[in-house]
A and B are shown apart, each in its own frame.
Chain A
Amino acid sequence: MQDGRAPILYIRLRKQVRLPPGRPVLLGHVAQVIVDPEYEQAVRTIELMRPGAGEQFVLVDMLAIVNAVRQRYPDMEIECYGEPHALIELAGTARVRQRRALLPIVLILLFIGSGLTIMNFHADVSMLEVHRKLYKLITGVDNPHPLILQVPYSLGLGAGMMIFFNRVFKKKLNEEPDPLEVEMYLYQENVRHYLVTEEYSRMNDSEGGRGR
């Protein structure tokens, strides 16, 4: 801080943060901050809120942060970049591990389910008839069960899905995001957007209640 000018606090809120429940939320948890070194430690540990027990998501709004910082340093200037709010997910590691146990069941579900759907699809579009016809068109011979066409077809089925999803087992074919990752991102963004809106309307409700 030089000759009496107000210190400036630069803040960029993180979009989404996962914290263990039952502890107060500090500014350093939810944001990247740049400030003169003498303030840094104190600013990072400014307490923003104490989430109530049983809450799974809480929203920290930029205004709440301005308020908390002002209480401690009334003349500090605050510059905010990025999102005006951070969504905090309160979850311990135990719950995450618990869900992990479901993985084998889900894998079996998907394995059998997708096998069934492909059989349904084949029946739906009379794939056997089409294969017979295709075999006839190519070789000029009738064959009631053209397995030489159908076994490569089945393997190609898997190859096509792999190509679409851009991966061969654990290795990715290249750096581009695959459609599933994009879809996953969009889905998470939508959920996050919904939660933020929901938390805001809850905040407004409780403030309105206090005003009346």
Chain B
Amino acid sequence: MTEWLGIALVIVTGLAGGLAVGGGFVAFIVVLDIIPRLAQITHSGKRIAWLEASVICGVIYWTLADFNDWSWYAYPPGTAVVGLFCGIFVGMLAAALTEVLNVLPILAKRLRLFNALKWLLLAMVLGKICGSLFDWLVYQSI
């Protein structure tokens, strides 16, 4: 009897934890306006449910793959494609965070650099690329 109770408790705990984390994840993505942004770029405002579905499928598949070690046996260069997509996604996160924090508009306003906005942006983008490459090639390889 207590065994069943324990199992039920574990199930409820797991479900509750999943709900909380899933809700948090969706809230995070929503706050950063990434899905609306992608829908705007691809003119798929009416098919936004598809974008949501692919986010949910991705979360579920990669969670299960992570927990159960569902390995593929692809050639190593295949990871380059996955890495590129990971990078694009994280890049969008980083860009959205910068935007939410309003750093660039305030900087441009204070310094009267409205016309230089694209250069500020470019400096940031190149900084991210170089920082990331430095991180992997030098800093974390030592």
Contacts of B83 in A (CB 8 A): 131, 148-153, 156
B88 interface contact, C-beta 8 A: yes
Decide: B87 and A141 in contact? CB cutoff 8 A. no
Decide: A99 and B112 in contact? CB cutoff 8 A. yes
- A108–B124 Cα distance when bound, in Å, is 9
Contacts of B140 in A (CB 8 A): 122, 128, 145
B16 interface contact, C-beta 8 A: no
Decide: A153 and B119 in contact? CB cutoff 8 A. no
Decide: A180 and B117 in contact? CB cutoff 8 A. yes
- Interface bits A92-114 vs B (CB < 8 Å: 1, else 0): 00011001101100111011111
Given A121-B94, A136-B71, A158–B125 Cβ distance below 8 Å?
yes
A29 interface contact, C-beta 8 A: no
Which partner residue on chain B sits nearest A191 by CB separation?
Answer: B109
Binds A, one of B6-14, B18-26, B51-59, B72-80: B72-80
A137 interface contact, C-beta 8 A: yes
B86 interface contact, C-beta 8 A: yes
Would you list which residues of chain A between 112 and 137 have a CB under 8 Å from chain B? 112-119, 121-122, 128, 131, 133-137
Interface of A, helix, strand, loop or mixed by DSSP: helix
Given A163-B88, A184-B105, A100–B113 Cβ distance below 8 Å?
yes
Task: Determine how close the nearest CB of chain A comes to the CB of B142; give it in whole angstroms.
Answer: 11
Contacts of A106 in B (CB 8 A): 107, 111, 113, 120, 123
Binds B, one of A45-53, A164-172, A203-211: A164-172
A176 interface contact, C-beta 8 A: yes
- A162–B86 Cα distance when bound, in Å, is 15
Our pick among A118, A136, A162, A169 for the contact of B132 (Cβ within 8 Å) is A118
Decide: B76 and A141 in contact? CB cutoff 8 A. yes
Given A138-B79, A157-B90, A164–B96 Cβ distance below 8 Å?
yes
Contacts of B111 in A (CB 8 A): 99, 102-103, 106
- Interface bits B93-107 vs A (CB < 8 Å: 1, else 0): 111101100101111
Decide: A156 and B84 in contact? CB cutoff 8 A. yes
Decide: B95 and A165 in contact? CB cutoff 8 A. yes
Contacts of B109 in A (CB 8 A): 187-188, 191
Decide: A158 and B126 in contact? CB cutoff 8 A. yes
Which partner residue on chain A sits nearest B122 by CB separation?
Answer: A169
On B, residues with C-beta under 8 Å from A are 33-34, 37, 40-41, 65-66, 69-96, 98-99, 102, 104-109, 111-114, 116-137, 139-141
* Other A-B pairs, 17, CB within 8 Å; known A117-B94, A118-B131, A147-B136: A102-B111, A102-B113, A106-B113, A113-B127, A115-B131, A140-B72, A143-B76, A145-B141, A149-B82, A152-B84, A153-B86, A153-B90, A164-B37, A164-B95, A179-B99, A180-B105, A188-B109
Closest 10 CB pairs of A and B: A156-B87, A160-B91, A115-B131, A114-B127, A160-B88, A149-B83, A154-B132, A153-B87, A111-B127, A164-B95
On A, residues with C-beta under 8 Å from B are 95-96, 99-100, 102-103, 106-108, 110-119, 121-122, 128, 131, 133-141, 143, 145-167, 169-170, 173, 176, 179-180, 183-184, 187-188, 191
